Amino acid sequence: MTTPIDIREEAGVRTLHFGSEWIQGAMRLSRPWNLELEYTREMMASLLLRDAPRKVLLIGLGAASLTKFLYRHYPLAHLTVVEIEPAVVAAARQFFKLPEDPRRVHLVLGDGAEYIAGNKKKFDLILVDGYDENARSGALETLPFYLACRARLSGDGIMAANLLTSSRSFETTVERIARAFDDRMLVLPSCESGNAIAFAAAGNAIEASFDELKETALALKEKTGLNLLPTLTRLAQARTCLNNQLVL
């Protein structure tokens, strides 16, 4: 079944919808490379944990916000984007300025869970943000999928997944991520939209004080304009962060 695509504009912001009021992506027309939605900015908190990813896998294209941000600010990064719905790709190209650069952006039309299960490539960063018009992510919230993500991460790899706290499967999904990554994960407190971002790590341990993270956040803000200081405050509330120290 083809996903119904609906493009809207209000107060200088263009939004992507799958035939409902729920926003699947957004772009401010005057700043098309910025991350308009709070949850997309929080997904980029992964850059505080492992900076300068060279190989990135994005599962779910949406309005191409994360793709554009990484493309613009990390010129050495190669981005693989897996999107199951052709209409979403067409909308991202026509309405949301998806970069047309096959040297750096490898667009795969297909199922994200199947792609990662059948692939042997390693990625420094895996971003999971795939939902249908009914706010369901199907195989993208299963234990086999998260185990496959872990297997595909490099030694310094990070996975960031967008979860919906309103979903009945939210707690179960968090437990599956924790199980797949041997509890090396944390979930940010939910933002106003009800999105909660989960981070999980494989390989080398992550240990950083909040002073160090703040220093990294300030450098990232200067480089990209992305202000993650509010996210750092939220990160301090996560149970993984004890004694002003993040361990993952």
Q: What's the mean pLDDT in 217-230? A: 95
Q: In this predicted model, which residue has the larger pLDDT, 225 or 168?
A: 225
CA–CA dist 214, 216 (Å, integer): 5
Helix locations, the chain, DSSP H: 38-43, 46-49, 65-73, 86-95, 112-117, 143-152, 170-180, 210-224, 229-235
- 3-state helix, strand and coil shares in percent for the chain, rounded to the nearest 5: 35, 30, 40
How would residue 236 be classed by pLDDT, with cut points 50, 70 and 90?
confident
CATH of domain 6-247: 3.40.50.150
Render pLDDT for 58-117 as a digit per residue (tens, 0 to 9): 999 999 999 999 999 999 999 999 999 999 999 999 999 999 999 999 999 999 999 999
Residue 151 CB neighbour total at 10 angstroms: 15
Q: What's the mean pLDDT in 206-235? A: 93
Please identify which of the residues 101, 129, 182, 183 carries the catalytic annotation: 129
Q: Which residues are CB-neighbours of 88 under 8 A, at least 6 positions away?
A: 3, 5, 16, 61, 62
Among 176, 154, 173, CA closest to 162 = 173
Residue 101 bears catalytic tag:
no
How would residue 246 be classed by pLDDT, with cut points 50, 70 and 90?
confident
163 pLDDT above the threshold of 90: yes
Is the four-CA dihedral 150, 152, 155, 159 of positive or negative sign?
A: negative
pLDDT for res 132: 65
Do 135 and 176 form a contact (C-beta atoms < 8 A)? no
Q: What's the mean pLDDT in 159-167? A: 92
pLDDT for res 133: 59
Instruction: Write out the two tokens for 147.
Output: 């185990």
pLDDT for res 244: 79
pLDDT for res 185: 94
CA–CA dist 91, 123 (Å, integer): 26
pLDDT for res 1: 46
> What are the residues facing 209 on neighbouring strands?
245
Render pLDDT for 2-26 as a digit per residue (tens, 0 to 9): 668 999 999 999 999 988 888 999 9
Highest mean pLDDT among 57-61, 136-140, 205-209: 57-61
Q: Which residues of 86-111 are buried (b: 16+ CB within 10 A; e: fewer)?
A: eebbebbeebbbbbeeeeebebbeeb
